[in-house]
Structure 1
Amino acid sequence: MTSTADLYDEHGDALQSLALPLRDFGGRLAFDGPIRTVRCFQDNQLVKELLATDGDGAVLVVDGSGSLGTALMGDMIAESAVEHGWAGVLIHGAIRDSAAIGRLPLGVKALGTNPRKSAKTGSGEIDAVLRFGDVEFRPGARLYADEDGVLVER
């Protein structure tokens, strides 16, 4: 994959740049793919359900409202994402089991960690247009991520 810096140099403002202090947690630091989305708050049931379906190289973007109060993904859900062919997961919130996730061939970026489990009621929305960090995440648009950050097609 071409670095995000080189992609931005080539395409400029045709790409949105995510201005958030995300941390890398997955075993794959550079990843890209078409976007799928989940909007949820301290409830990871929809994340779990979606990552258990065929990912076909997609990147799941989860808007957890930036909450670090509970984890929206742990190692078992991340393992399911690998088994189902997802390229990566970007979480505007927290994860748990970070050491185990770091050993998986999956791109994972999140704001931080919290060992506390989330609710499992299924509240939220799948494939909604999300907006955070001055970026609009539309299902189907391509996301590029590496150690320098995240770029998204307009």
Structure 2
Amino acid sequence: MTISTADLYDERGPELASVSLQFRDFGGHQSFSGPARTVQCLHDNALVKSLLGTPGEGAVLIVDGGGSLRTALMGDMIGESAVHNGWAGVIINGAVRDSVALGGLPLGVKALGTNPVKSAKDGAGSVDGPVQLGEVTIQPGDMVYADPDGILIAPTP
């Protein structure tokens, strides 16, 4: 991403939704952007792993983990898969693990925090439906812009 979220908001203002939840940066890229793909899951990362194992084509995966920090929804091995498959970034409303290793990957990663506990692998949840980050609803295909200042969403027309 070549423009900061603050500058982008100054240019486009009300057409952008700002996510007010406070995420931490864990990936090697703190600024990233791309069209949204979505997963909704709670304490189960099977859908996250499966989707990040497919071609991302520069997309950003938004994971609604319900804000739970009880288990990690992504670690270094899934992060490496995302890099290998061309994803721009992953934003997790939940926890990650292997945070030091994630910091060495050329991938944008934002999450609420960390927890070394693995999640279930049952495949519970849904893919490519609307997800909620705070007060912002994100649809698949919406444009996501993220940097250290925050996350902006441009709804698809």
- TM exceeds 0.5? yes
Structure 1 unaligned residues grouped into runs of 5+:
none
1:105 paired residue number: 106
Q: Sequence identity, in percent? A: 63
1:67 paired residue number: 68
Deviations 1:38-93 (A, max 9, x none): 00000000000000000000000000000000000000000000000000000000
After the TM superposition, which segments of 4 or more aligned residues of structure 1 sit over 3 Å from their partners?
none
1:151 paired residue number: 152
RMSD after superposition: 0.5
2:89 paired residue number: 88
* TM-score, normalised by the number of residues in structure 1: 0.99
Q: Residue type matched to 2:111 in 1?
A: A
Say if 2:41 is the partner of 1:45.
Answer: no
| Secondary structure in 2 matching 1:123 | coil
How many residue pairs align between the two structures? 154
- Distance in 2 between the 1:103 and 1:121 partners? 29
Say if 2:123 is the partner of 1:122.
Answer: yes
- Distance in 2 between the 1:90 and 1:64 partners? 10
More strand by share: 2
Say if 2:16 is the partner of 1:30.
Answer: no
**Shift of the alpha carbon at 1:131?**
1.3
- Distance in 2 between the 1:11 and 1:141 partners? 15
Q: Residue type matched to 1:20 in 2?
A: L
